[in-house]
């Protein structure tokens, strides 16, 4: 089993920055996709950013140029640096870890961390 655990959410003013972290406990063998999703009230969960083990990334159009995803494979940790935050970035942010091979291959979600952008 793999258990992601997020940290770093909170309240920030528009234009501010936050850094989210997600540490995945358990064993990850080989290639794993790690990513961040978010869900705002009344909306569906959406992909914010994803990163493969080799470092290849993809971003939602709404966050390109403002958010940066990175990872530390040795620590099974993924980060999301969020700059120039907007009120519409307010949501619960979820970490997702998908080991693609090995005995722990699967789809794992964290409990979520609240990000509120408001003056």
What would the two tokens of residue 25 be?
């406990």
CA distance 63 to 91: 13
CA distance 92 to 90: 7
Q: What local confidence, expressed as pLDDT, does residue 31 receive?
A: 76
Q: What local confidence, expressed as pLDDT, does residue 77 receive?
A: 93
DSSP designation for 14: T
Please name every residue paired with 8 in a beta bridge, in sequence order, or none if there are none: none
Q: What local confidence, expressed as pLDDT, does residue 101 receive?
A: 82
Cα 114 to chain centroid distance, Å, stands at: 12
Report whether pLDDT(9) > 90. yes
Model confidence pLDDT, tens digit, residues 45-90? 999 999 988 889 999 999 999 999 999 988 989 999 999 999 999 9
Q: Do the beta carbons of residue 5 and residue 61 sit within 8 Å? A: no
CA distance 32 to 15: 32
User: Which is more confidently placed, 48 or 2?
Assistant: 48
Model confidence pLDDT, tens digit, residues 17-38? 999 999 998 887 777 899 999 9
What would the two tokens of residue 91 be?
């949501």
Nearest to 20 by CA among 28, 11, 12, 9: 9
Split at pLDDT 50, 70, 90, the class of 41 is: very high
DSSP designation for 93: E
């Amino acid at each position: 089993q793999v258990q992601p655990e997020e940290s770093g959410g909170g309240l920030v003013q528009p234009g501010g920055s936050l850094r989210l972290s997600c540490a995945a406990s358990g064993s990850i063998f080989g290639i794993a996709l790690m990513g961040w999703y978010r869900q705002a009230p009344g909306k569906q969960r959406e992909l914010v950013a994803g990163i493969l083990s080799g470092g290849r990334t993809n971003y939602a159009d709404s966050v390109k140029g403002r958010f940066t995803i990175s990872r530390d494979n040795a620590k099974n940790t993924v980060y999301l640096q969020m700059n120039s935050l907007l009120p519409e970035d307010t949501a619960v942010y979820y970490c997702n870890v998908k080991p693609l091979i090995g005995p722990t291959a699967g789809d794992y979600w964290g409990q979520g961390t609240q990000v509120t952008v408001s003056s």
